[in-house]
């Protein structure tokens, strides 16, 4: 049985279900309690779980994320909500220097089972400081996992898995997807971290993406299908661990690959995937892996500029045509 | 009319008369503190030697001169109370009960180290003794300290359905006073009423910068804590009896009230900031003044005047400790280096995936589990 | 000082060569200009001359082996050197004289040590550039036994991409002698590697057939007058041991017709048409089996200005050379229009594939005696059917028809051909 709910409600269900299941789980962050969540993701949770488990913090990302990490060292399972991953930069030391390294530095004594989640990427005309895609910056760090769901059902199943995971998980949502409605199963389910999904089967070109740009890819695939180019759209869902096997399997079939990544191009997950595809499928490629990223500039404010900045469907179509020699 | 945060209750009075509590403890306990301090001293002297012999790599900061702080504060704790500190952490690890051989082996980069040789001098961890690290980035441990206090309180109250009954000690140097993380941590501790005591081991220098050159109100840093609604006091950290006398009631009160506290612990490091510090920034005369107040000599004299120890006994204790540290060094030397095949990709993730091979506990935990179990 | 003989570049596009046979053995004396080997290039079997006097000290590549241009293939001892003095270093890659005083004999030369490192065949394009191939195209071609040299790359910079390989496979059988070298069918009873010429034919004709929009226009010619004139001419030439073929007349006729239809002497150039100065008629010549078979096109230059008798002499000389020593690159270059004639085999009519960069080729059948209607009566006549294959990018149907009309006038009233 399924019903249609919003992405934000899928997140809410995941957190609430896990908090009912495991008292070690709690939520903290800016406006998560009395405000009902800056984006209404934690709506109603204060009422259900009370202020000890749904904890409002001041605007103090370094402090409260570090605090959550200290609690996680005791075996608790904090969920840290960043209103935006753009604000995580001031918390870089705790989330990058402490959480992912604690297990290693302590020689296996202290893990850090924390989930850090929030909106990632451009919202709508938020300008350059509030439109960060942190995938490229953070996925570089060993010791953390990075999940970036594009659909409500995945958001729920993956967040539940993230909360149960013994390692730190960075969970990247999108402001632009929070109101996206889709079918979500009624019954309880988990989606494993590290498994990609073929979102749309195809034969002529593999499109790999994760997070919001998966939707751009599906849009592009629709248009390209009308031109006779059949795209296989792979929703990566997780950046670290990267499910390269699913990607490779598809590329071996299509012989073409275009990676769509909302990060900037330089040293990005898209670059990493391209490198891995080249290494794993060299003899199966008919062309170099194509890449579509956000433009290599600060995120602009003006709507026309922002739309062109994003890895939109038109840019994806152009990349697929070029890569498949149909330009 | 009442303000949100009163100021009248923010002073914490040091109990009078001096040694009111320690005088009741009996000389066995205080003699054991002498031993603890002498062990740290000898350990650190040998650490310097081993560093110069290139058996220890990287950055290395010794605790010589500050022994009374770790020994006196930790004596006031219960074993169940978490402790987290900065990078000058060997003294805390030993005072907390870590066998010196694991500590030395860690610095030697050997598999027998407390963190299998993966942490090094600045990152001592001991789960059994509730030591949540040595942390290398100045001030980084201060939010963690708030988090440990948040965590114990959460476990005690939400999971155990009882009342908060653990106190976290979070040590920091006076250099951390100027980091943003410290201020965020204090704000959170005050705001959320977390049972944590921030102990500034105020040795007067952040590396080579004298405290008044790096922070405002250097003579009254307690005011910074009071600004966050946290009770604060100054303690003379060069006298272990004094440290205990002041800390014990403070720890008890924090345990009782669940509210944070802050200590300006006045101390002095006799050596440089690190092994490569020529100490050009402070006059030799200043060092001599503090050296004349060596906390070990001070306690020795007290114990001798009480008849708890005589000269021969003190010498015998010194010899015993030298042998213990020598054995620790031999043990560290004999411990094998971690092999890349076994350890390079281990302990990165709890879960094994890709190149990562999951996690295992260090030798120290396997050897100590059950013998030093957590109390409480 | 010994002299190194390397695989010579014997055509403009040659990248590798195959030693067909050595005409000399170790110890043989040779003089500058001697032909020491027959070498098969991508276009033809060529003679390899030496440029110095000397004694053959070593032959490093066995007949049948293909090596890149520049590869050391033989060593010559100069005057004053003994063959034994000339040795190779241990790699066998460069010749160096042993010190005269050296008592020990140099190790014997192993020919394999040189022939082995020859470049992979697939990296040997006809274009003179390094072959660009996408990885999957290379893999598929390798799996299916397709020689990449035969393919035309349509990717950026001429890169051979997947569709080029698949398209080559899917091409209709008529297009390609190359079809026979796709993966062996289960019933094959054997296989033989393609000669360099065969590979070139395959590549060029696939390129022609797949990239040029071909179409055909046929016309039937009354050959009675021409056959008659030829008989008269040959009767007079016989004492000199000369004769003129029907094809020689057709060469002349085509050349004269071209002078009135300049698009038949042109090449397609993407955004323009290139017109050629001289009218050079290519004549297809089948090679004998013993020379490896195959097909070359010899060029009769300025055929519009040559008397038919001279055309006959030139054609005969070229055919003889092609069948014996092999044509030189000059003999085969610069044709502007090609004629393929299978009349001698009794073929009625057929169509031919354009020989790029020509825009047209004329396929001539036999001049056959058959009933014709003349003045309302059925009488015996001689007729020939000729079919033009045309590049539609250059020549339209009506243009082709007009050309054939001109040709028909010249062939059926052949007096003009003798002027």
pLDDT for the residue B197: 98
Give the residue numbers of C annotated as catalytic, written as ranges: 392
List beta partners, residue A205.
A231
pLDDT for the residue C180: 41
Q: Whole-angstrom Cα distance, residue C360 to residue C217?
A: 11
Query: pLDDT digit string (tens) for C326-358?
Result: 788 788 888 999 999 998 888 998 999 999 889
Instruction: Give the DSSP letter string of A264-295.
Output: -STT-HHHHHHHHHHHHHGGG-SSPPEEEES-
Query: pLDDT digit string (tens) for C85-107?
Result: 665 543 444 433 333 343 444 44
Q: Which chain B residues are Cβ-neighbours of A27 within 8 angstroms?
A: none
Give the one of B123, B143, B354 whose C-beta lies nearest to A70's C-beta: B143
Is residue B273 within 8 Å of B207, Cβ to Cβ? Answer: yes
CATH of C213-418, picked from 3.40.50.1820, 3.40.50.261, 2.60.40.10, 3.30.559.10, is: 3.30.559.10
pLDDT for the residue B272: 87
User: Per the domain annotation, does A192 fall within a domain?
Assistant: no
Is residue A208 within 8 Å of A257, Cβ to Cβ? Answer: yes
Which chain C residue's Cα is nearest to A252?
C136
Q: Are residues A204 and A167 in the same domain?
A: no
Q: Which residues, 6+ apart, have CB-to-CB distance to C241 below 8 Å?
A: none
Q: Whole-angstrom Cα distance, residue A201 to residue B167?
A: 57
- Is there a contact between A104 and B348 if contact means CB atoms under 8 Å apart? yes
The dihedrals phi and psi of C40, each to the nearest 5 degrees, come to -90, 125
- Is there a contact between C163 and A325 if contact means CB atoms under 8 Å apart? yes
- In terms of DSSP bridges, do strands C295-300 and B205-206 run parallel, antiparallel, or are they unpaired? unpaired
What does the pLDDT average to over A132-138? Answer: 95
Q: Which chain B residues are Cβ-neighbours of A70 within 8 angstroms?
A: 84, 132, 143-151
Q: Which CATH superfamily is domain C121-206 in?
A: E3-binding domain (4.10.320.10)
Q: Are residues A211 and A301 in the same domain?
A: yes
Determine the structural domain holding residue A252 and report its residue range: 197-323
Q: Are residues A26 and A93 in the same domain?
A: yes
Is residue B79 within 8 Å of B98, Cβ to Cβ? Answer: no
Q: Where in chain C is the domain with CATH 3.30.559.10?
A: 213-418
Query: pLDDT digit string (tens) for C108-130?
Result: 434 333 333 333 333 334 444 57
pLDDT for the residue C364: 93
Question: Mind telling me how many Å the CA of A222 is from chain C's nearest CA?
Answer: 23
3-state DSSP call for residue A32?
coil
Q: Are residues A110 and A177 in the same domain?
A: yes
Instruction: Give yes or no for a cis peptide into C357 (omega within 30° of 0).
Output: yes
Q: Is C163 on the interface with A (CB under 8 A)?
A: yes
- Classified by CATH at the fold level, domain C3-115 comes out as OB fold (Dihydrolipoamide Acetyltransferase, E2P) (2.40.50)
Query: pLDDT digit string (tens) for A254-285?
Result: 999 999 999 999 999 999 999 999 999 999 99
User: Per the domain annotation, does A274 fall within a domain?
Assistant: yes
Q: How many domains are contained in chain A?
A: 2
Residues of A with CB under 8 A from a CB of C: 255, 282-287, 325
Q: Whole-angstrom Cα distance, residue C220 to residue C217?
A: 11
Q: Which chain B residues are Cβ-neighbours of A53 within 8 angstroms?
A: 158
Reported pTM? 0.68
Percent residues over pLDDT 70 in chain C: 82
Query: pLDDT digit string (tens) for C347-392?
Result: 998 999 999 889 999 999 998 888 888 888 888 889 999 999 999 9
Give the one of A73, A142, A166 whose C-beta lies nearest to B350's C-beta: A166
Q: Do chains C and B touch (3 or more CB pairs under 8 A)?
A: no
Query: pLDDT digit string (tens) for C244-267?
Result: 999 999 999 999 999 999 999 999
- Most confident option among B331-340, C91-100, C136-145: B331-340
- Is there a contact between A286 and C154 if contact means CB atoms under 8 Å apart? no
Tokens matching residue B322: 């030298």
Residue B353 pLDDT greater than 50, yes or no: yes
Query: pLDDT digit string (tens) for A37-85?
Result: 999 999 999 999 999 999 999 999 999 999 999 999 999 999 999 999 9
Residue C83 pLDDT greater than 80, yes or no: no
Tokens matching residue C339: 């004629």
Tokens matching residue B337: 């280096």
> Of the ranges B34-43, C192-201, C270-279, which one carries the lowest mean pLDDT score?
C192-201
Give the best residue of C135, C141, C151, C167 to mutate against chain A (max A CB count within 10 A): C135
pLDDT for the residue C87: 52
pLDDT for the residue C109: 39
Q: CB burial class (10 A; 0-12, 13-18, 19+) of residue A309?
A: buried
3-state DSSP call for residue A228?
coil
Q: Whole-angstrom Cα distance, residue C307 to residue C255?
A: 11
Compute the count of residue pairs across chains A and B with CB atoms less than 8 Å apart: 166
- Is there a contact between A105 and B353 if contact means CB atoms under 8 Å apart? no
CB-facing half-sphere around the CA of A248: CA atoms within 13 A: 13
Give the best residue of A59, A61, A70, A110 to mutate against chain B (max B CB count within 10 A): A70
Q: Are residues A61 and A181 in the same domain?
A: yes
Query: pLDDT digit string (tens) for A181-213?
Result: 999 999 999 999 999 999 999 999 999 999 999
What domains can you pick out in chain B, each with its CATH number? 22-339 (3.40.50.970)
- Is there a contact between A106 and B115 if contact means CB atoms under 8 Å apart? yes
Instruction: Give yes or no for a cis peptide into B17 (omega within 30° of 0).
Output: yes
User: Per the domain annotation, does A143 fall within a domain?
Assistant: yes
Give the residue numbers of A annotated as catalytic, written as ranges: 61, 130
Q: Which chain B residues are Cβ-neighbours of A66 within 8 angstroms?
A: 140, 142-144, 146-147, 181, 184-185
User: Per the domain annotation, does A191 fall within a domain?
Assistant: no
Q: Identify the chains in contact with A, defined as 3+ C-beta pairs within 8 A.
A: B, C
Q: Do chains B and A touch (3 or more CB pairs under 8 A)?
A: yes
Looking at per-residue confidence, does C67 or B339 come out higher? B339
Alpha helices in C219-261 (DSSP H): 224-237, 246-260
Supply the CATH number for residue A278's domain: 3.40.50.920
Tokens matching residue B375: 């109390």
Q: Whole-angstrom Cα distance, residue B82 to residue C411?
A: 111
Q: Where in chain C is the domain with CATH 2.40.50.100?
A: 3-115
Supply the CATH number for residue A20's domain: 3.40.50.970
Q: Whole-angstrom Cα distance, residue C105 to residue B103?
A: 70
Query: pLDDT digit string (tens) for B258-308?
Result: 999 999 999 999 988 887 787 889 988 999 999 999 999 999 999 999 999
Is residue A131 within 8 Å of A122, Cβ to Cβ? Answer: yes
């Amino acid at each position: 049985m399924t019903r249609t709910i919003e992405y934000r409600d899928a997140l809410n269900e995941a957190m609430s279900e896990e908090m009912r299941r495991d008292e070690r789980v709690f939520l903290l962050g800016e406006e998560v309690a009395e405000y009902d969540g800056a984006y209404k993701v934690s709506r109603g949770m204060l009422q259900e779980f009370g202020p000890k488990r749904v904890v409002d913090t001041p605007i103090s990302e370094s402090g409260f994320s570090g605090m959550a990490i200290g609690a996680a060292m005791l075996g608790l399972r904090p969920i840290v909500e960043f209103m935006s991953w753009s604000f995580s930069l001031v918390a870089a030391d705790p989330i990058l220097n402490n959480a992912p390294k604690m297990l290693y530095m302590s020689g296996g004594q202290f893990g850090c089972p924390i989930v850090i989640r929030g909106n990632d990427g451009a919202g709508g005309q938020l300008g350059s400081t509030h439109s960060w895609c942190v995938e490229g910056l953070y996925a570089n760090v060993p010791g953390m996992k990075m999940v970036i769901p594009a659909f409500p059902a995945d958001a729920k199943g993956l967040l539940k898995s993230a909360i149960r995971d013994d390692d730190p998980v960075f969970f990247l949502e999108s402001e632009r997807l929070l109101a996206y409605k889709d079918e979500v199963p009624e019954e309880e389910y988990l989606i494993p971290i590290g498994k990609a999904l073929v979102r749309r089967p195809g034969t002529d070109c593999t499109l790999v993406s994760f997070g919001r740009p998966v939707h751009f890819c599906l849009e592009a695939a629709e248009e390209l299908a009308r031109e006779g180019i059949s795209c296989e759209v792979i929703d990566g869902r997780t950046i670290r661990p990267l499910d390269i096997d699913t990607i490779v399997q598809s590329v071996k079939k299509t012989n073409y690959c275009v990676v769509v990544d909302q990060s900037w191009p330089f040293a990005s997950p898209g670059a990493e995937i391209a490198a891995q595809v080249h290494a794993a499928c060299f003899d199966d490629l008919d062309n170099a892996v194509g890449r579509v990223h956000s433009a290599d500039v600060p995120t602009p404010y003006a709507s026309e500029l922002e739309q062109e900045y994003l890895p939109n469907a038109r840019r994806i179509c152009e990349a697929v045509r070029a890569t498949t020699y149909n330009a | 009319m009442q303000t949100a945060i009163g100021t009248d209750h923010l002073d914490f009075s040091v109990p009078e008369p001096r040694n009111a509590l320690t005088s009741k403890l009996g000389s066995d306990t205080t003699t054991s503190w002498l031993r603890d301090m002498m062990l740290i001293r000898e350990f650190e002297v040998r650490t310097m030697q081993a560093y110069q012999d290139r058996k220890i790599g990287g950055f290395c900061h010794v605790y010589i001169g500050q022994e009374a702080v770790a020994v006196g504060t930790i004596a006031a704790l219960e074993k169940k109370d978490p402790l987290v500190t900065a990078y000058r952490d060997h003294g805390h690890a030993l005072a907390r009960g870590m066998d010196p051989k694991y500590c030395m082996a860690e610095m030697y980069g050997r598999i027998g180290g407390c963190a299998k040789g993966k942490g090094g001098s600045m990152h001592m961890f001991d789960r059994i003794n509730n030591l949540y690290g040595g942390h290398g980035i100045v001030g980084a441990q201060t939010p963690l300290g708030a988090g440990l206090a948040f965590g114990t309180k959460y476990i005690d109250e939400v999971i155990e359905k009882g009342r908060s009954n653990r106190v976290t000690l979070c040590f920091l140097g006076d250099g951390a006073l100027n980091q943003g993380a410290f201020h965020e941590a204090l704000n959170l501790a005050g705001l959320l009423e977390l049972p944590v005591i921030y102990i500034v081991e105020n040795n007067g220098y952040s590396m080579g910068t004298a405290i008044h050159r790096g922070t405002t109100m250097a003579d009254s840093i307690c005011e910074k804590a009071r600004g966050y609604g946290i009770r604060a006091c100054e303690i003379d950290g060069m006298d272990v009896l004094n440290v205990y006398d002041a800390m014990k009631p403070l720890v008890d009160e924090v345990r009782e009230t669940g509210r944070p506290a802050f200590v300006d612990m006045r101390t002095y490091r006799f050596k440089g900031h690190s092994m490569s510090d020529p100490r050009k920034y402070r006059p030799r005369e200043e060092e001599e003044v503090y050296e004349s107040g060596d906390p070990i000599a001070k306690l020795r004299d007290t114990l001798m005047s009480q008849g708890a120890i005589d000269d021969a006994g003190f010498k015998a204790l010194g010899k015993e400790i030298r042998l213990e540290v020598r054995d620790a060094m031999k043990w560290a030397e004999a411990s094998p280096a971690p092999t890349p095949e076994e350890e390079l990709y281990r302990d990165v993730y709890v879960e094994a995936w890709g190149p990562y091979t999951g996690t295992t506990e260090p030798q120290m935990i396997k050897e100590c589990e059950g013998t030093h179990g957590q109390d409480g | 000082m010994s002299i190194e003989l390397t695989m010579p570049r014997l055509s403009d596009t040659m990248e590798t060569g195959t030693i067909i046979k050595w005409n000399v053995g170790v110890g043989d004396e040779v003089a500058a200009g001697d032909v020491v080997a027959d070498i098969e290039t991508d276009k033809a079997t060529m003679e390899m001359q030496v440029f110095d006097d000397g004694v053959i000290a070593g032959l490093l590549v066995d007949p049948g082996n293909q090596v890149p241009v520049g590869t050391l293939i033989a060593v010559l001892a100069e005057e004053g050197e003994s063959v034994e003095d000339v040795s190779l270093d241990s790699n066998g890659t460069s010749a160096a004289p042993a010190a005269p005083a050296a008592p020990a004999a140099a190790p014997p030369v192993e020919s394999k040590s040189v022939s082995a490192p020859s470049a992979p065949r697939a990296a040997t394009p006809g274009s003179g550039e390094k072959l660009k191939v996408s990885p999957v195209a290379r893999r598929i071609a390798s799996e299916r036994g397709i020689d990449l040299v035969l393919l035309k790359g349509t990717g950026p910079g001429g890169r051979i991409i997947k569709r080029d390989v698949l398209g080559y496979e899917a091409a209709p059988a008529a297009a390609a002698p190359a079809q026979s070298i796709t993966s062996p069918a289960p019933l094959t009873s054997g296989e033989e590697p393609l000669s360099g010429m065969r590979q070139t034919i395959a590549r060029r004709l696939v390129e022609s057939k797949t990239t040029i929009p071909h179409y055909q226009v046929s016309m039937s010619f009354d050959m009675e007058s021409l056959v008659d004139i030829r008989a008269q001419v040959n009767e007079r030439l016989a004492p000199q041991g000369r004769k003129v073929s029907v094809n020689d007349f057709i060469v002349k006729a085509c050349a004269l017709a071209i002078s009135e239809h300049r698009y038949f002497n042109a090449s397609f150039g993407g955004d323009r048409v290139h017109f050629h100065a001289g009218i050079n008629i290519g004549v297809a010549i089948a090679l004998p089996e013993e020379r490896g078979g195959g097909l070359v096109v010899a060029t009769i230059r300025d055929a519009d200005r040559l008397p038919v008798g001279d055309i006959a002499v030139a054609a005969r000389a070229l055919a003889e050379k092609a069948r014996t020593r092999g044509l030189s690159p000059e003999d085969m270059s610069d044709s502007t229009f090609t004629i393929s004639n299978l009349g001698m085999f009794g073929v009625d009519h057929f169509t031919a594939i354009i020989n790029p960069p020509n825009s047209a080729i004329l396929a001539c059948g036999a001049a056959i005696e058959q009933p014709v209607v003349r003045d309302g009566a059925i009488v015996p006549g001689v007729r020939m059917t000729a079919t033009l294959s045309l590049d539609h990018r250059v020549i339209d149907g009506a243009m082709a028809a007009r050309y054939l009309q001109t040709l028909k006038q010249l062939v059926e009233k052949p007096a003009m051909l003798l002027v």
